[in-house]
Each structure stands twice: as C-alpha cells, then as structure tokens.
Amino acid sequence: MTVTAMLPDGQGGGSARATLRRNFWRGVARVLRRKPSRVAGVVILALFALMAVVGPMLYPAHLPRDDDALYAPPSLAHPFGTDFEGTDVLALVVTGSRYVILTGLATAVITVAVGTALGLLAGFHRGRWDTVLMRVTDLQLTIPGLPLLLVLSTVWKFEGPLEMGLVLGLLGWGGIARAVRSQTLSLRERGFIEAARGLGLSTPHIVVRELLPGMAPYIAMNMLIAVTGAIYAQVGLFFLGVLPFDSNNWGVMLNLAVFGGGALTSAAALPYLLAPLLAILLLTLGIVLVVDAMDEIFNPRLREE
C-alpha cells in the first residue's frame, strides 16, 4: 500500500511532487530576495551564460580591425579600447567567453562526476574498495597540477575547451572524492539507510535515491566552486603562454597586454589588461554570490533563521 492510493483522484504522487517543487522554488525566491547581492549573482551568471551562448554570434568570425587605432583608448566605439592590432577589446572578451565558460563547466562536471562516484563507492562499500580508491585519491591529491599542465602543454596542444576541461577535471577530483566519502560514511549509518537495506532495496537504488539527494547541495556548490578554479587554472596557463594562441582568450589577452603592450609600465594597454580581468572578477563574484544563496537554500539551520 502506498500513500498515493489513499489520495483522491487527481492528487496523486505527481501533484504532490509538483507541490514540493513549487514550494522549493518559492523558498529559492525568498532566499534570493533576502539579499539583493544574491539576485545580482544570479543576474551576473545569467549574463555570462547568455554571453557564452549568443555572444560569438553577434560578431563576424574574424573580428574587424582598425589599422590606425592600435591600443586606442576607451571611447564610445570601443568601451575598453583596442588591442595591439586595433581589434575592439570588448568584442574579444565577449567572443572569448564561450571557451572560458565551456572549459569551466567541463572541468566542473568531470571533477564532480569522478569525485562523487569514487567517494560514494569508497564510502558505501568500505573495506578493500575504500582502501584502494582512497590510495588512488591520495595519489591524485599529491600530483602538482600546474607543473604537470606545463609539461603536458609541450606535448598536447589542448585545442578545444573540452580537452582543456577534461585535463583540469581529471586533476581536480581528489578533494571532492574525499569529502563525499566522509559524508557517505556518516550517512550510511543513519536509520533511513538501515531501513532501506532492511527493505531489500538494491545498492544502486540506495546510493542514487537515498544517499545522493542528501549530498546534492554540497555537490552542487562544489561544482560551482570548481568552475572558478578551472577559470583561474586555464587563464593562468594561457597567461604563461604555454597553451595555444587565440587572441580572444582571456588569458592570452592578459599575456599580450602585460608582455606585449607593457600594461604594467604604461597606461596605453591598461584597458586591454583590465577588460579580461574584470570579466574574470565578475564571473567569480557571480558564482560566489550564488553559492552563498545555495548554502542557505540547502542548509536547514540557515533557513530556520
């Protein structure tokens, strides 16, 4: 017998779930309204998402250049000035956003997927599984990411954002795996898991339907934080000049502004330096503000306040 059998027609499990969803989104709206900064965070992320999806379509494949306006100062025509060959810096930032954000997302997905899967597996099964997987995780945590990427870049050209994301993701799952494992170890001893076991539910069902939802908020927040980490890592690598050249890549822009334009010595290339920096800053800020909101949405104690 189930709860739904006792409900009148038209008010089955589906509508109960719908009610739950509605309540959830109302809660989300309430949490966002509580602090305007959180709304700003959502708006910033939405803008960047829009920029990544639509931005490159707004410009021609090869951005126009003004041969007589190299490192032109900011103006109405060029709000962030122009670069070393007279290309509008704002156009470069907009068209370059897709690569950065795609890489960030790919990294986050891989980091979270691998970390969560291994953490759940190790924490739920314990024993030899746990020992082996955690030794692998320890090994992964000891790998120095940046030096390895520097070496890898000499043999691998990382020509697409997904390639870049794959490598960054495979270098970043260790922390999440350990955290998820410890949470799993704690949750698996709770009564509801015992009950599920007693009911003879399958392990995949227990892990996916009982354990995972409890950890979903934590995983979601880690995913967003992983995006910022990925952005820093890739921009840093491009800034160091070890990755393929693409003039609208934010890291490449920073590199060219500093080393080619002398942005740290003279003001001419300063807008060229500040534009990608501002984009990185805003994107990171947006993520941090949304994570702050998520924290309250998912944390019952904070919600009670």
Partner 1 sequence: MKRLTAIAALAAIATATACGTTGTTSSGGIYTTIDGAKQIDASAPINPFNPQGSTFVGYDTMSLGWPKNDLMNPDLFYPGLAASWSATPDQGEVVIHLRPNARWSDGKPVTSKDVRTSIGLAYTQGGSAYTVNAGAAGAAADVVIVDDKTVKITQGANRSNAFLRNVLSTVVVPDHVYGALLPAGFWRTLQDARGTGPAADKAKTEITGLSQKVITFSPREDVSAGPFVLERVNPGAALLKRNPYFYDSAKIVPDKVKVLNYTGNEQIWNYLVSGKLDSAPFTAVPAAVMARIKATAGNEVRKGYSPVAASMAFNQSRKPYDDPHVRRALAYLIDRAQVTRVASPEAGTPSIATTGIHGSAAKAWLGPGLAGLNPYKVDPAKADQELRAAGMVKRKGQWGFADGKPWKVRLTVPAEFSDWVAAAKSITSQLNDHGIDASVTTSADYTLYLEELASGKLDVGFWLMALGPSPYNIYQRLYGSANGWSLLAGRLTHSPPGKDGNWMGGPEKIGGVNPGELTNRLNLATPEEQKKIVGTLAALTNQQLPVIQLYDYVNTQFVNTSRYTGWPPHDSEALRLPAGVWMQLGMIEKK
Rounded to whole angstroms, how far apart are CA atoms 245 and 214? 43
How far is C-alpha 240 from the geometric centre of its chain's CA atoms? Answer: 22
Output b/e per residue, 60-99; b: 16+ Cβ within 10 A: eeebeeeeebbbbebeeebebbbbeebbbbbbbbbbbbbb
Rule CB under 8 A: say whether 75 interacts with partner 1: no
Q: Which of 113, 125, 129, 153 binds partner 1 (CB under 8 A)?
A: 153
**Shortest separation between residue 155's beta carbon and partner 1, angstroms:** 10
Rounded to whole angstroms, how far apart are CA atoms 231 and 273? 16
**Shortest separation between residue 149's beta carbon and partner 1, angstroms:** 11
- Interacting positions 171-230 with partner 1 (CB under 8 A): none
Rule CB under 8 A: say whether 247 interacts with partner 1: yes
Q: Which of 24, 25, 192, 245 binds partner 1 (CB under 8 A)?
A: 245
Name which of 171, 129, 153 is nearest 237 in CA terms: 153
Binding to partner 1 by CB under 8 A, coded x per residue (else -) over 24-63, reads --------------------------------------x-
Rule CB under 8 A: say whether 156 interacts with partner 1: no
Q: Which of 268, 282, 285, 288 binds partner 1 (CB under 8 A)?
A: 268
Rule CB under 8 A: say whether 258 interacts with partner 1: yes
Rule CB under 8 A: say whether 147 interacts with partner 1: no
User: Do the Cβ atoms of 202 and 140 come closer than 8 Å?
Assistant: no
Rounded to whole angstroms, how far apart are CA atoms 113 and 119? 10
Rule CB under 8 A: say whether 73 interacts with partner 1: no
Is the CB of 67 or the CB of 189 nearer to partner 1?
67
Stretch of 93-101, 130-138, 174-182, 242-250 contacting partner 1, by CB under 8 A: 242-250
Rule CB under 8 A: say whether 266 interacts with partner 1: yes
Q: Which of 242, 254, 287, 289 binds partner 1 (CB under 8 A)?
A: 242
Residues that bind partner 1 (CB under 8 A): 62, 65, 67, 70-71, 84-85, 150, 153-154, 157, 241-245, 247, 255-256, 258-262, 264-269
